[in-house]
Amino acid sequence: MKAIVIPKYGGPEVLQYVDVDKPSPAEGEVLVKNHASSLNGSDFEVMRGAWAARLGGPRRTKHKILGTDIAGRVEAVGSGVTKFKPDDDVFGDLLYPGGYGAFAEYVCAQEKVLALKPPCMTFEEAATYPESGIIAIQSLRGKRQIQPGDKVLINGAGGGMGTFAVQIAKYYGAEVTGVDSTMKLDILRSIGADYVMDYKEVDFTKTGERYDMILDTVARRSLFAYRRALKHDGMLIIVGGSRSALFQAFVLGPLMSRIGSKKMGINPINMDPMQDYEILSELYEAGKVVPVIDRRVPLSEVPDALKDLEEGQVIGKVVISIEHDNT
């Protein structure tokens, strides 16, 4: 089968589109004929060998094949699998608990990371949800549940996760401010953002506005700057960002949250996301939360598409459409 292999850390040029052995499912695993995947910010961070990726493999990633999101049809199941059977259509995120390998024609996934795909959702649409949509909804409905009327700011709002977060926050009745670069602001308005800001022009922590919730997918600031922009009982949720911002959120966040009324920290990860898949599927069917798809590319073009994502040339999601010789 064809796959995008990562032999070492580096730029998109290190990635190889090659033939590898088709996997077979172990106990508790499902073999999925993968019809679509999508790119995430975490893919180029793993490709480059960002610090978090190197914790699992200092010189090269321990995972041979890149990619985390899958959407496809069950081809076979390993022993002990009870939830799925051949010909079921599924989608899921291999990232938790620590898996990769989605940029491939076939994938073996643990049963517990997969959900049934709603029949009205295409594989390409389904492939946009697992990492971006699930983390967005878990962040907004985590320790502090989003409330109607909340003032919510989403930083990195034009990215894969951000475009889901804007729509989810609007669905729950929040007043939403989306922050991203100029070329993404019109889309943010079109998916419901009440206010938009260009991060290259305005520092949202210095405008004097205060928010009930700040969701930052690309955190770069000190916790003291965020604290300035939070309301009395507001909450900062950091999903991704610089090493220093993540370190502060992890170490200082719980401390600062304890001594003050403002809460700050890393997004909660619910390892049982099935309820979130159900909610997102219902919101899709109701037309309330739909994927923002920038473009669809074949598997062989993953390296170029990752380059564009890293350079900020993507609004929302890039979908990988996976062709099979026998389809």
Ligand X SMILES: NC(=O)c1ccc[n+]([C@@H]2O[C@H](COP(=O)([O-])OP(=O)(O)OC[C@H]3O[C@@H](n4cnc5c(N)ncnc54)[C@H](OP(=O)(O)O)[C@@H]3O)[C@@H](O)[C@H]2O)c1
Which residue ranges make up the site for ligand X (CB under 6 A)?
40-42, 45, 131-132, 135, 155-156, 158-162, 179-181, 184, 199, 217-218, 220, 239-240, 267, 269, 309, 312
Edge-first strand order for the sheet with 211-216 is 195-198, 175-180, 151-155, 211-216, 230-238, 263-266
Q: Select 104 or 165, whichever has its Cβ closest to ligand X.
A: 165
Q: Select 242 or 257, whichever has its Cβ closest to ligand X.
A: 242
User: To the nearest whole angstrom, how small is the minimum distance from the Cβ of residue 155 to ligand X?
Assistant: 5
User: To the nearest whole angstrom, how small is the minimum distance from the Cβ of residue 19 to ligand X?
Assistant: 28
Q: CB burial class (10 A; 0-12, 13-18, 19+) of residue 271?
A: exposed
Q: 219: which 2 tokens?
A: 């955190």
User: To the nearest whole angstrom, how small is the minimum distance from the Cβ of residue 31 to ligand X?
Assistant: 24
CB of 271 closer than 8 Å to CB of 249: no
Q: Select 279 or 318, whichever has its Cβ closest to ligand X.
A: 318
Phi and psi, residue 221, nearest 5°: -105, 170
Q: Select 19 or 198, whichever has its Cβ closest to ligand X.
A: 198
CB of 164 closer than 8 Å to CB of 316: no
User: To the nearest whole angstrom, how small is the minimum distance from the Cβ of residue 250 to ligand X?
Assistant: 11
Paired residues of 256 in beta bridges: none
Residue 172: CA atoms inside 13 Å, Cβ hemisphere, count? 21
Q: Encode 63-91: b = buried (16+ Cβ within 10 Å), e = exposed.
A: bebbbbbbbbbbebbbeebeebeeebbbb
User: To the nearest whole angstrom, how small is the minimum distance from the Cβ of residue 298 to ligand X?
Assistant: 20
Q: Select 181 or 321, whichever has its Cβ closest to ligand X.
A: 181
Q: Select 42 or 205, whichever has its Cβ closest to ligand X.
A: 42
User: To the nearest whole angstrom, how small is the minimum distance from the Cβ of residue 269 to ligand X?
Assistant: 5
242: helix, strand or coil: coil
User: To the nearest whole angstrom, how small is the minimum distance from the Cβ of residue 239 to ligand X?
Assistant: 5
CA-to-CA distance for 133 and 188, rounded, in angstroms? 16
Q: Select 41 or 273, whichever has its Cβ closest to ligand X.
A: 41
CB of 143 closer than 8 Å to CB of 175: no
314: helix, strand or coil: coil
Q: Select 196 or 230, whichever has its Cβ closest to ligand X.
A: 196
240: helix, strand or coil: coil
User: To the nearest whole angstrom, how small is the minimum distance from the Cβ of residue 60 to ligand X?
Assistant: 19
- Closest CB to ligand X belongs to which residue? 159
